[in-house]
Chain A
Amino acid sequence: MEDWRRTPLVFWVTSLPPTLWLVVFFLIPLALVWVMSFGELDGLIDIKITGTLANYARALDPLYLEVFGKSLVFAGFTTVISLLVGFPVALAIVFASPRWRPILLLLVILPFWTNLLIRTYALIAVLRVRGFANFSLEWLWDQGNTVLALMGLGSYQLLGDRFEPLELLYNNTAVVIGLVYVHMPFMILPLYAALERLDRSLIEAALDLGASQFRAFLTVVVPLALPGIISGGILVFIPALGSFLTPDLLGGTDSQMIANVIERQFKGANDWPFGAALSFLLMYLTFAALTVRALVNRRAERRGGA
């Protein structure tokens, strides 16, 4: 590594803009919110900073802890499903021919070219009762009936006497589908980065030594991809934990996540100090997740070094 002391000017010039950016647009606003979380409402607009812990005490009420818990479950499911779906996709991209690889990667990030809100509305159009998913199912149902009729079984109504559309929208499943859909690229890209570096001769060696494909995958590929799995997991878990748009638009009466509660504090409830306290509790949870990653990384490094 280049020693910055030898070229101090270059160091200062290049690091000043990002540092300023970070301080002005991230640390200062964050500090303001943090201070606000120790405040009390004074009338409708003013907030008195009294150093009170009442906001945190309120946030630790079982009611809100339950909402935190539910958000963790949503984010957890999202992460696991993203991993299960994303891993084969990342593997497929790694093993695709070099000509296809950039195109496949482009396809993974393509959704980012569209605004999240518009993608979520598109999902509504897919999932609703008169939506594309149900249209497709209905079409299949019609085809199935035609086939049955051709086989002379048309009068038995084996597929039910009319097509019942599935209730896909406005429930917790819809929320998880939405979260997985939105966050999948964050899982695939780090997995791809980890798997691409993987030395394929190790897999060959495992196979040569008599391991089954599955065994080779579990004992060679997965451990080597672990950094990618952890990075992807973190990148999916953290934003999923703080989602409010997806549960708001796709969820039913049971789908409230903690960010929905926080949003309301800054709007309808007009209780910014409480919203700030909830935000910071959410951030501490996030830090906890990052700490876990750091610990796992360190352990992996130590094992690698030994």
Chain B
Amino acid sequence: MAHCKPFRPSRRSFLAGTGAVAAGLTFLPKAGFSAEEKVVNFYNWDTYIGETTLDDFKGASGIEVNMDLFADNAELFAKLKEGNPGYDVIVPSNDYVERMVAANMLMKLDHSKIPNIANIDLAFMNPNHDPGRVYSLPYMWGTIGIGYRKSRVDGVPDSWKWLYESDQYAGKIALLGTPSTVIQIACKYLGYPLNESDPAKLEKAADLIIKQKPSIKVFADDNGQDLLLSGEVDLTMEWNGDILQVMAEDDDISYVVPKEGGLLWEDTLAIPTGAPHPENAHAFMNYVLDAEAGAAIADFIQYATPNAAAKALMDKSYTENPAIFPPDETVKNSEVAIYQGPEYSQLIDRLWTKINAA
């Protein structure tokens, strides 16, 4: 999801954002009666598009893509919540699609303008977070599991126990800094559903983490893979794609989704309400879902593509890599996070404050 990201692009994206607002404002009045200017404003995660995708799209369509970066879904949501500052295509994850639909922040898609939808694996066409794919199309999917340094760990750490209830690797463990994910996976480890919402059980999950705190080095803000690579930690809870990127640099690093199951996620392409260039946005989404373009993206970012036509073009080192496409058994045990409303978010935040303060 979010990747080897040394710097938050706050100032840059602010400037670009204001530019986008200006562009949006100057454009709005004539939206009704003239063709769109040849621009699409794309708000994406870092290192999450093919190396030449944007240029190729410009070559094919003449439409210029301005890309801004966000570091996490919360940032994306906060940026758009007071009104769209001018973005045309965004990349929210599954539970944030639900959140944004609930808040009327996404536009309905016109499937007739995106013929490449036919390329998408049918298994992805009717998910719980967006039945019928009214608001979003799948971009990439993956798991959250454990990235580890083989030479420093006994065997394969195929249980969340090694992160949540063991001092064998004390001081060499990093968990994610995303409160909901850390608590949800604790629920999973305790045998509750990932989306457990009973406060008493969530409290138990928090207590488990508090008890484990002396062994946890850091709640890593999306840089667990860097900590693993630099030897700061030996086990880290991470997005599979992040670990894959450092596996390419260091043979001693591997990835496993524990037997209790992990968290399945899907990043989507969506058009935020108030997008200044919806036509271009549809054209861009159609291009990204093209078989060749999709394969180029997947080849570069090494995440699992839901695009069956693109996957068919990839070689075995990608399609048969268990860290990209986990075994069916793992997928069956894993669950998708569901958006559960503001009370749940507040409870999770309170528990997170408590975990950090304890």
| Chain A residues in the interface with B (C-beta under 8 A) | 41, 43-45, 63-64, 66-67, 70, 115, 117-118, 121, 128-130, 167, 169-170, 248-249, 251-256, 260-261, 264-271, 274
State whether A45 touches B81 (Cβ < 8 A). yes
| 16 CB < 8 A contacts A-B | A63-B350, A63-B353, A67-B357, A70-B357, A121-B7, A167-B171, A253-B217, A253-B219, A254-B213, A254-B356, A264-B74, A266-B78, A267-B75, A267-B78, A270-B342, A271-B342
State whether A249 touches B221 (Cβ < 8 A). yes
CA distance A66 to B10 in the complex (A): 30
**Cβ contacts under 8 Å, A248 to chain B:** 221
**Within the complex, what minimum Cβ distance (angstroms) separates A110 from chain B?**
20
State whether B6 touches A121 (Cβ < 8 A). yes
State whether A63 touches B354 (Cβ < 8 A). yes
**Cβ contacts under 8 Å, A254 to chain B:** 213, 356
Answer whether A271 and B345 are a contact pair too, CB < 8 Å, given A66-B357, A117-B8: yes
User: Interface code B210-233, partner A: CB below 8 Å = 1, 0 otherwise?
Assistant: 000100111101000000001110
The reply on B179 being an interface residue by CB < 8 A is yes
State whether A44 touches B213 (Cβ < 8 A). no
Closest to A128 in B: B232
CA distance A271 to B7 in the complex (A): 26
**Within the complex, what minimum Cβ distance (angstroms) separates B175 from chain A?**
8
**Within the complex, what minimum Cβ distance (angstroms) separates A204 from chain B?**
51
Pick from B102, B105, B232 the residue with the most CB of A within 10 Å: B232
CA distance A128 to B232 in the complex (A): 7
The reply on B349 being an interface residue by CB < 8 A is yes
State whether A271 touches B349 (Cβ < 8 A). yes
The 6 A-B residue pairs with the shortest CB-CB distance, nearest first, are A269-B349, A267-B74, A256-B356, A44-B103, A268-B74, A170-B218
Q: How many A-B pairs with Cβ below 8 Å?
A: 96
CA distance A44 to B6 in the complex (A): 31
State whether B216 touches A253 (Cβ < 8 A). yes
Answer whether A44 and B102 are a contact pair too, CB < 8 Å, given A130-B230, A268-B74: yes
CA distance A121 to B7 in the complex (A): 9
Answer whether A264 and B216 are a contact pair too, CB < 8 Å, given A128-B230, A128-B232: no
Closest to B10 in A: A117
User: Interface code B170-185, partner A: CB below 8 Å = 1, 0 otherwise?
Assistant: 0100000011100000
State whether A64 touches B356 (Cβ < 8 A). no
| Chain B residues in the interface with A (C-beta under 8 A) | 6-8, 10-11, 72, 74-75, 77-78, 81-82, 99, 102-103, 105, 171, 178-180, 213, 216-219, 221, 230-232, 342, 345-346, 348-350, 352-357
Contact of B7 among A43, A44, A117, A167 (CB under 8 A): A117
CA distance A122 to B355 in the complex (A): 28
Answer whether A268 and B231 are a contact pair too, CB < 8 Å, given A63-B357, A253-B217, A253-B218: no
**Cβ contacts under 8 Å, A270 to chain B:** 74, 77-78, 81, 342, 345
**Cβ contacts under 8 Å, B180 to chain A:** 268
**Within the complex, what minimum Cβ distance (angstroms) separates B240 from chain A?**
22
**Cβ contacts under 8 Å, A121 to chain B:** 6-7
State whether B217 touches A118 (Cβ < 8 A). no
Contact of A269 among B81, B219, B346, B355 (CB under 8 A): B346
Closest to A249 in B: B221
CA distance A130 to B179 in the complex (A): 28
Closest to B354 in A: A63
**Within the complex, what minimum Cβ distance (angstroms) separates B232 from chain A?**
5
**Within the complex, what minimum Cβ distance (angstroms) separates B352 from chain A?**
7
Answer whether A67 and B7 are a contact pair too, CB < 8 Å, given A41-B342, A267-B78: no
CA distance A129 to B234 in the complex (A): 12
CA distance A189 to B217 in the complex (A): 36
**Within the complex, what minimum Cβ distance (angstroms) separates A216 from chain B?**
46
State whether B342 touches A118 (Cβ < 8 A). no
CA distance A237 to B167 in the complex (A): 37
CA distance A267 to B350 in the complex (A): 14
CA distance A63 to B356 in the complex (A): 10
Pick from A41, A44, A64 the residue with the most CB of B within 10 Å: A44
CA distance A267 to B7 in the complex (A): 18
State whether B231 touches A129 (Cβ < 8 A). yes
State whether A43 touches B103 (Cβ < 8 A). yes
**Cβ contacts under 8 Å, B77 to chain A:** 267, 270
State whether B346 touches A271 (Cβ < 8 A). yes
